[in-house]
Structure 1
Amino acid sequence: MGKDLETALKGLLGVEEGSTTEEIIDLVLSVAPYISKLRNAVILHRLQKRVKENEEQLIRIGNKVNLLDEPLKEMLQNTIFPFVLDDLMEEHQEKKVEFILDGFEYVVDEKIREEAYIISYYDVLRELRIEDLKRLLEYTRKFKQGIGKEISKNRKELSYTDKDLYYKEASYRRHIDYKLESKWLIGNDKDKQIEQISDLVNHRYYSDDKYRTRFNRGVMDSKLKRASETKLTRFGNDLIKVFNLEILMDEIK
């Protein structure tokens, strides 16, 4: 481990100068939440490998943290960075390591002080796989206005050429949607739906004129369709922003 990286890790953990690399690793293992059961050679090797591979970013983040005010610095050192290290040790999908560190750097850059807010996003990220994150991106405006059109076309064509595969993939996407909905990352405006249905029941969109009746019913149908459409929530949008998930966009098929 290089001297600069060792210094950065000490700073991020609030370790005093003079501690050895081995002592730093021991400290990491002792302060990371729920880590005692994972204290073994495999986990240690995984941590060392990922720390080394992301040395440049960790040093950059460490330098930024050193410039913060003491209360924020202490919160990041004592709570958030150990939490991040815990994820680095436990995460099995290598691609997510990038998001874990990008999220931490975002927190530092934006000087986010709400500990519960930060941890809640990491909790959700921990439970999502890469395919889940790709599906989440399909609800963004950028996807719908960009590659989403071509992907929708390809999926529709698949329904004619290989129905079994089409339904298998559609079922899997729906399974992921349930997962995303359960975490409030996507959803629809149920209150708005109730309001629109109430308007319909109360004949608010009716009139005596047949043309106007058809027109108003069309407006009603359009409003109901928009209200029932599954959309990206504010929480989902923030998750994408915090962890810089849009880099997965080009991998969606």
Structure 2
Amino acid sequence: MNEQQAIDRAEEIIHQAVDGMSPRPTLERMGHAPVGACIARDDHGPDDRVQVTLIYKLTGVPGAEAQNLVRQARDAWLKQGHKYNSSGEVDWSSSFPSVYMRTGPDDFWMDAVTGAMDRAKGEGLASLKVSSPCFLPPGKSKASGATPVGPAAFEAPSADDPATRRALAHSSRIYDALQVGSAPTQPGEGLSTVRDESGASVHHTWSTWTVRRVPTAEGPPAVVAGHPGEHAVAQVATSTTGAVRVAVTTPATGPASAGV
């Protein structure tokens, strides 16, 4: 698999969920360029692997429809033969259900999540996320011994840039919350500026020390969250080694502060 194939497949999975929805929502993409360092890699893969992650908000529909959209995404993915990545049934009695699934045999992971907008009224905002398996970028091979791709493969942002300060401020709060020291910078980690058709973003990735091995039959757990005011996106994932990998992305233009 290469970068374009991963993006095309992720987009296909998104549209499998959305194209038959009623009411039909508008897809609003969140986050940075879709290709980034593999934040949940384990010891069995080379450090220069990357993965594709696409996140879309489903906008243009009433907030009361969010749960219905998540259910429709689930039904569409099941119709395509995709499977739950957990054995537990979704709690549809909740106003804000979430669905976690995966494809086979290519093993893309996706979720449909309802974020609360007005808890009193039960109104939410549905979002879809698809992550590809990790893969090697062009010119890399497991046996090549080539130097892994690091942040220098992108633009190096200025330390005084407001977007850089926002990204680092969000990273610092995650660091404080984890209460685990950061590990030495790994290949592919650090600060970079990424440009794509949606504009420029500052990307900051880092990882903690390995704390303990995390056995899990369903893959490493991960959390993705967005900051509504700044349109920043944070990803926190544990690898099977026990290390926690963090990625924060913020648009290169935006508000001057990084408030919670």
TM-score, shorter chain, exceeding 0.5? no
| TM-score, normalisation: structure 1 | 0.28
Greater C-alpha radius of gyration: 1
Question: Between Structure 1 and Structure 2, which shows a larger proportion of strand residues?
Answer: 2
Richer in helix (by share): 1
